[in-house]
Structure 1
Amino acid sequence: MTNNNLMKRRNFIKGLGAAGLAAAATPALALSNNSKGVQWHRSVDIAIIGSGFAGLAAAVEAKRLGAKDVEIFEKMSVVGGNSAINGGLFAAPDTPMQRKEGLKDSVETMVADQVAAGRGIAYEDLLRHVAEHANEALQMTIDAGAEYHPYLQQLGGHSVARTYQTTVSCGAGITQPLYKETKKLGVPTHTRAKFEGFLVNDNGDVEGIKIRENYYFGRDNNGEVVNIKVAKGVIMATGGFAQNVAMRMAQDPTLTSEVGCTNAKGATGEGMFEMFRLGAIPVHMAHIQSGPWASPDEGGFGYVSNYSIFNFPHSIAVNLKSGRRFMNEIADRKTRADAELANRDDEGNPMPPIMITSYEHSKKHPTAKKVLKYGVGWKFDSLEELAKHFNIPLKALEKQIDEYNGYVKTGVDKQFGKPMDKAMGKYLKAPFTVVRLWPKVHYCQGGVQITTKAEVVDSFSGKPIKGLYAAGEVTGGIHGVSRLGSCSIPECMVMGMTASRSILKA
């Protein structure tokens, strides 16, 4: 590819209708160059950009397949990115724990659940590939030392309980063991190493990368740029762009800086932008998911998120004005987030609804004590006390709880059709614990188009861009309109493993 053609590819991002906003984002966009005449500072066989689930899984798999020279580059000062601070929830079909609990599940069932949540536009071939290999990825985490609770959870949109959760109730319970495994296998991880762009030959093949070493996030152009020749392949595992307010507003103008976000600060999307410049196809960019389990009373992911995810199946979400339920508490994320956002006062201002759980059941989750300790949740000894605190009409609330307890008894939710399997025998009774709910920007379904081999597809030729692979949230298409909770970790890990297998022809 000539420099002139490379410039034409850079202009491709303008087709997103967001070039101006993207360029204004902080930190600044990277720039790719032709590799002709470049002075290479050093070389590697496989370069992995990003140190979350996808990047770490790719590194472990590459070394297990015999790769000699694998290196990870992470722009932040710590390893793990969003992966380290997520909920640590891992969905897989037909697992040993499901069989032990007598639960029937399959690849087909898991894919069907995700296709339904994706509203018909999810890439079924990618979903199937991930589901077929999810147990391999789960086993990789266990082999590395990850520990999970001895029970499965049924998250919103899933037709059966298939979700494991780390005992520390966060993604660090997976990223830390995987990181230790990469160190055992001899994979160097370079932090404060910001990806600055690709180095490509005249045919458009990726031959290397530019990395800004000693980079400090938020300070543009600090550190020094080195050119690294990559012999076998570059794996982009840089995550989404939820913290890039300008870019997310270009897709959805309602997602302003006033809307909270669960992501790490480094989720700004430069790696994805540079793949677009190179010619990658943008897919589903406008589908940005908000987490319906978040709380307006704490920053980031917080303690309430995991608490809510665990307790939703045996709790009720209540509108403060009516004292009534307004949604199926374990519907898919988009359905619930939209329902929560409809809770407004008479002037149209946000009126965050509440989730009511029996203390007897809520306390079984590890974060329950912290929710109360840090004042992001409340404990009430009576329904009267609860109603007074939130100014809820008491009689309406009493009637709602009586009705719901009837559903618990019969196993049939006549209001919203909520599956009651996980609620059986768990009646709502005092004392109660309560948290407030309000969605936060959590996950970007959009990104670059990839094949089931994790190859990045070129918009100009329709073929894979040679030497370039991608995995995880930086890719698009797999989840469609709405991603089911606990399906991100298997996706990231399976596609990271797949990228290494494709590079090494395994």
Structure 2
Amino acid sequence: MSEKNLLGRRNFIKGFGAAAGVALAAPAMAVSEKADGVKWDKEVEVMIIGSGFAGLAAAIESVRQGAKDVHMFEKMSYFGGNSAINGGLYAAPGTPMQKTEGVKDSVDRMVADQVKAGRGVADEALLRHVAEHAVEGLQLTLDAGSEYHPYLQQLGGHSVARTYQTTVSCGAGITQPLYKECKRLGVKAHNRSKFEGFLVGKNGEIEGVKMRQNYHFGEDQPGEVLNIRAKRGVIMATGGFGQNVDLRMAQDPTLTAEVGCTNAPGATGEGMYEMFRLGAIPVHLAHIQSGPWASPDEGGFGYVSNYTIFNFPHSMAVHRLTGKRFMNEIADRKTRADAELSCRDEKGEAMPPLLITSYKHSKKHPNTKKVLKYDVGWKFDSVEALAKHFDVPLKPLKEQIAEYNSYVKSGDDKQFGKNMTKAKGKYIEAPFTVVRLWPKVHYCQGGVQINVKAEVKDSFTGKSIPKLYAAGEVTGGVHGVSRLGSCSIPECIVMGMTAARSVMKA
């Protein structure tokens, strides 16, 4: 394979991996039934389906609000869901670290950034509710034992630095402490438990669910189905559908099985499907976000993603065909993903662009060692070696580096208007670290419509479906066309807490 066409068949296969193959088949559909005459096998006070950020936060807050019998069900063999493997990035306005670093921020400013990224169709009321309670949600994670790096990051589309990141640089730094806190509080957690449908009362209220026990993902299931009554209500925290290729392609035919995905294999959307069948309003299903920080050289989220998220503010992205920059490296995700996808060779074939960083700056992030160790990134002692390795025209590349460094010095990016605050004093100079960029499906903005109480709206009545709540990626409309990075965890945590408060007041 030539050096020029580095995104060959082998890397595509390595990128989307076995998990995407599992998701090629549509998930087995759940079917809801009337609760009339149902023999209940079990009764619980609060039922939570899903064990990611939203489900865990809902479980903890339910107990804090006085619940005595909280049950959390997870269809996979492990707890944490897709949340455990995300980037561990949490945005909030008015945090103690912002005050320490002298960053001026506000709820209004964070909401404005998200509304802009959402292209005018984001749900401002929900964004404001999350922003107003984001610090409270952050405190919940700290109380449970989550630990964060002692510095803030400014992610693409954010007008200021407001993002915390776990010290382990992934979502497990939050899900594991929250899960331990759930166990400490007496929450009953059940894995290998697959939601099979709602059991609906005479007035349309959710009386309970059908739950399959001993479920093994991707296999024929002989396990017993139990009818479980939820005394106060059901909180759906079942996540997105990024691994459901059929549903992805129904919304966007370009998102085929050869498009990688950062999600866990269980992100297939059955819970969302069944809420639609029940009458929930579908919102923004076609807005599926690809992460512009991903690499074609590794599967899933990988090591490169967090590496690039940290380094984008003080790095330079170049097209290998021209040696020139082609985007604002900290624009919102959709803007960058679209720009990267436009990087093609003379034949129109994919040509993953390069992110070039000075090693002395990149090495401050712990993933740099792993990126180099596992050969998904490269280190070069000269610009000549870098250009030769990737077949980039040397003269234009040298000129671009010099031009970019002039922007670092002046603080004014005349090419793409990049905010250079985090690039101050960080010039692009040898030795360099380099990774390749290519977007992967990461987040589904679409899902069921909810209000600021986390109640699921009914398309038939215009009111809320009684005793049904939802939080996290299974909901839709919150972020609009493009979600800003580090805004999903506060959304999940805050709306999980909100759902718990609502179910306890019902």
TM-score (ref. length: structure 1): 0.95
Match of 1:351 in 2: 351
Whether the aligned pair in 2 keeps the contact of 1:50 and 1:74 (CA below 8 Å) is yes
> Which residue identity is paired with 2:146?
A
> Which residue identity is paired with 2:286?
A
TM-superposed deviation, 1:503: 1.1
Match of 1:99 in 2: 99
Structure 1, unmatched stretches of 5+, are: 1-22
Residue pairs, 1:427-506, within 5 angstroms: 427-505=427-505
- Partners of 2:196 and 2:367 lie apart in 1 by 39
Match of 1:275 in 2: 275
Whether the aligned pair in 2 keeps the contact of 1:216 and 1:222 (CA below 8 Å) is no
Moved more, 278-287 or 216-225: 216-225
Q: Aligned with 1:27: secondary structure? A: coil
- Partners of 2:442 and 2:24 lie apart in 1 by 22
Whether the aligned pair in 2 keeps the contact of 1:27 and 1:220 (CA below 8 Å) is no
Match of 2:210 in 1: 210
> Which residue identity is paired with 1:415?
Q
Match of 1:265 in 2: 265
- Partners of 2:480 and 2:389 lie apart in 1 by 40
Match of 1:284 in 2: 284
Whether the aligned pair in 1 keeps the contact of 2:24 and 2:257 (CA below 8 Å) is no
Match of 2:116 in 1: 116
1:306 aligns with 2:315: no
- Partners of 1:221 and 1:166 lie apart in 2 by 37
> Which residue identity is paired with 2:182?
T
Whether the aligned pair in 1 keeps the contact of 2:24 and 2:244 (CA below 8 Å) is no
TM-superposed deviation, 1:24: 8.9
TM-superposed deviation, 1:198: 0.2
Whether the aligned pair in 2 keeps the contact of 1:28 and 1:220 (CA below 8 Å) is no
Runs of 4 or more off by more than 4 Å in structure 1? Answer: none
1:194 aligns with 2:208: no
TM-superposed deviation, 1:223: 1.2
Match of 1:81 in 2: 81
Across the aligned residues of Structure 1 and Structure 2, the Cα RMSD in angstroms comes to 1.0
Match of 2:254 in 1: 254
Whether the aligned pair in 2 keeps the contact of 1:26 and 1:218 (CA below 8 Å) is no
- Partners of 2:44 and 2:474 lie apart in 1 by 23
Match of 2:374 in 1: 374
Match of 2:321 in 1: 321
TM-superposed deviation, 1:25: 4.3
The alignment-based identity, stated in percent, is: 76
Match of 1:20 in 2: none
- Partners of 1:204 and 1:394 lie apart in 2 by 67
Q: Aligned with 1:400: secondary structure? A: helix
Whether the aligned pair in 1 keeps the contact of 2:26 and 2:246 (CA below 8 Å) is no
Whether the aligned pair in 2 keeps the contact of 1:110 and 1:131 (CA below 8 Å) is yes
Q: Aligned with 2:469: secondary structure? A: strand
- Partners of 2:298 and 2:46 lie apart in 1 by 40
Match of 1:425 in 2: 425
> Which residue identity is paired with 2:71?
E
- Partners of 1:253 and 1:459 lie apart in 2 by 27
- Partners of 1:320 and 1:249 lie apart in 2 by 30
- Partners of 1:248 and 1:221 lie apart in 2 by 25
TM-superposed deviation, 1:347: 1.1
TM-superposed deviation, 1:505: 1.9
> Which residue identity is paired with 1:107?
V
Whether the aligned pair in 2 keeps the contact of 1:361 and 1:426 (CA below 8 Å) is yes
Match of 2:52 in 1: 52
Aligned length: 484
Whether the aligned pair in 2 keeps the contact of 1:318 and 1:355 (CA below 8 Å) is yes
- Partners of 1:76 and 1:114 lie apart in 2 by 32
Moved more, 444-453 or 221-230: 221-230
- Partners of 1:77 and 1:159 lie apart in 2 by 40
> Which residue identity is paired with 2:283?
V
Whether the aligned pair in 2 keeps the contact of 1:380 and 1:431 (CA below 8 Å) is yes
Match of 1:173 in 2: 173
- Partners of 1:265 and 1:503 lie apart in 2 by 30
TM-superposed deviation, 1:27: 2.4
Match of 1:4 in 2: none
- Partners of 2:188 and 2:505 lie apart in 1 by 23
Match of 2:363 in 1: 363
> Which residue identity is paired with 2:116?
A
Structure 2, unmatched stretches of 5+, are: 1-22
- Partners of 1:254 and 1:437 lie apart in 2 by 18
- Partners of 1:317 and 1:75 lie apart in 2 by 40
- Partners of 1:479 and 1:223 lie apart in 2 by 38
TM-superposed deviation, 1:224: 1.2
- Partners of 1:476 and 1:158 lie apart in 2 by 21
